[in-house]
Structure 1
Amino acid sequence: MPHLTIEYSGNLDTRVDFAKLCRTVHATILGTGLFELGAIRVRTIQSRDYAIADLLPENGFIDLSFRIGRGRTEAEKKATGDAIFKAVSEELSTLFSTPHFALSLEIREIDPELSWKKNAIHPRLRASNG
């Protein structure tokens, strides 16, 4: 793990290049040096229906949810969150030029006793790097 989900209001579909945003976030996560390449997942979920603040139709949001396994220090988690938030904020800077956009990020640690995984990507990537 790390898995980062980008949930966003559907009115941003034509204003944000979400494929590019996913690649930016992926590169930022990898750049921390804290996570193995084969574990990184970045994906989007569009919210078709939503009600934001004063209900103006131009209001939009992006909520970043970053789930990680245990084992990083508080300083490492904070530095990772800072790096992701900065990269995303820079990429979305035009959205902040209007008073209708909200961005949030939360990092959550996953309890290893309550998390099941099976990954065929790891062995392939480890073999090619070893």
Structure 2
Amino acid sequence: MPHLVILYTGQLDAEVNMTTLCRQMADAMLTVQDEAGKQVFPTGGTRVLAYPAPHYAVADGGAAGKAAGLHEQNPHGGSGDYAFVYLNVRMGRGRSEATQQRAGQTLVEVAKAFFAPVMVQRHIGITLQIDVGPEVFDAKHSNIHPLFQK
């Protein structure tokens, strides 16, 4: 049940390819191993979905960047507002804290590398959060998993 949902301010659609980020994040998830060297996220269950927010307000709307003379020169136009990316990983219980930390660090490094070229031109806030929760109901129905069973 490893799902990564990415919510982001919509102006980023003109500046980055979010499908590429989704693929990079899914590929990174598949590399994470636990202390025994076992793959943490099952291949057939790994999903990464990204959703743009067409309406948003971030911090002071870019005023501090303008005042500091650091306002981005966005070649793609837009309001000059800051951008924000929220990456939320939802994983099932049973993984050690060290494994959860390893997964988080792996994914945040991919996000930082992906957005580095854009951060040169604009201000972006990036948050990655991993949630592990007690599921009260967890049903799955898929014909994808059998593709990856050995």
Which segment is superposed worse, 59-68 or 91-100? 91-100
What percent identity do the matched residue pairs reach? 31
Higher helix share: 1
3-state SS of paired residue (1:6): strand
1 CA distance for matches of 2:57 and 2:136? 36
1:82 — aligned with what? 105
How far has the Cα of 1:19 moved from its partner? 1.0
2:133 — aligned with what? 110
Higher strand share: 1
2:13 — aligned with what? 13
How far has the Cα of 1:99 moved from its partner? 5.4
2 CA distance for matches of 1:109 and 1:95? 31
- Which of these residues, 31, 37, 43, is aligned with residue 37 of structure 1? 43
1 CA distance for matches of 2:137 and 2:59? 35
Let me know the Cα RMSD of the aligned residues: 1.4
- Which of these residues, 43, 54, 69, is aligned with residue 48 of structure 1? 54
Consecutive unaligned residues of structure 2, counting only runs of 5 or more, are 33-38, 63-78
- Which of these residues, 95, 109, 123, is aligned with residue 72 of structure 1? 95
Deviation sequence 1:11-66 (CA, Å, 0-9, x none): 10011111110111011000012111000000101100001001233211110010
Consecutive unaligned residues of structure 1, counting only runs of 5 or more, are none
TM-score relative to the length of structure 1: 0.91
3-state SS of paired residue (2:139): coil
What is the number of residues matched between the two proteins?
A: 127
TM-score relative to the length of structure 2: 0.79
Letter in 2 for 1:72: R
